[in-house]
């Protein structure tokens, strides 16, 4: 499978896993880490931060938020642009 097709497939898997209430969020994060693509990692970190906020775990939410911010800084990406990715498809 060509790399861009694989990335698209992984993106679909990630958004599906994060959208089911977090039950497969760890699996989604593993897929994103395997791909090593910032555009795939960011939604996982962002989704997990939101999930932990909803669960009342402020410390874990902040940890994932920091990971997302650091990722964007290293990759030279605008976090606001990445938040819109799932809606552009």
pTM of the model: 0.72
Tell me what the mean pLDDT of segment 64-87 comes to.
82
CB atoms within 10 A of CB 56: 8
| Token pair belonging to 13 | 């898997």
Mean of the per-residue pLDDT values of the chain: 76
E strands in 1-89: none
Task: Summarize pLDDT for 48-65 with one digit per residue, the tens.
Answer: 888 888 889 999 999 999
Q: Is the pLDDT of residue 39 over 80?
A: yes
**What's the pLDDT score for residue 6?**
55
Compute the CA torsion angle 33, 28, 40, 83 (nearest 10 deg).
Answer: -140
**What's the pLDDT score for residue 3?**
47
Task: Report whether 18 contacts 25 (CB < 8 A).
Answer: yes
What helix, strand, coil percent values describe the chain, rounded to 5?
80, 0, 20
């Amino acid at each position: 499978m060509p790399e861009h097709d694989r990335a698209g497939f992984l993106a679909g898997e990630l958004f599906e896993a994060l959208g089911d209430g977090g039950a497969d969020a760890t699996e989604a994060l593993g897929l994103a880490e395997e791909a090593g693509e910032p555009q795939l990692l960011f939604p996982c970190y962002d989704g997990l931060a939101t999930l932990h906020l909803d669960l009342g775990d402020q410390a874990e939410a902040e940890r994932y938020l920091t990971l997302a911010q650091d990722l964007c800084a290293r990759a030279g990406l605008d976090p606001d642009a990445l938040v819109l990715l799932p809606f552009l498809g």
